[in-house]
Amino acid sequence: MANINTREQSSKIAKKEGTFTMAATVQDITLSVPDVSCEHCVKTIDGALAVLPGVETVSTDIPTKTVHLRYDSSQLSAEKIEAVLDDAGYTVAK
């Protein structure tokens, strides 16, 4: 004997955003920034990037004109990093 239940079910859909995955999203990148020329540049760049959410380490190297960055890609995108550098007056070379 079939007991058909056609009662409508309204279930709450839980929105899950910003789920944390431990360390799996940490990225190491090296950006080429040709305008790096002195300690002032290093301070400007390090200061601008270090305050961003998800940034773990920033180190700017004058001789090679590069910025090495370790960041959590679940909190920060490479595009955002480049935009912040651009705002600080330093364009990332492609």
Helix (H) or strand (E) holding 26: strand 26-32
Give the closest residue to 38 by CA, choosing from 49, 46, 29.
46
Query: Contact with Cu ion (CB under 5 A): which of 8, 38, 87, 94?
Result: 38
Residue 63 in contact with Cu ion, rule: CB under 5 A: no
Q: Which is nearer to Cu ion, 14 or 38 (CB)?
A: 38
- Rg, C-alpha atoms of the chain: 22
Q: Which is nearer to Cu ion, 2 or 38 (CB)?
A: 38
Q: Which is nearer to Cu ion, 33 or 41 (CB)?
A: 41
Cα–Cα distance, 80 to 77 (Å, whole number): 5
- Which stretches of the chain bind Cu ion, using CB under 5 A? 37-38, 40-41
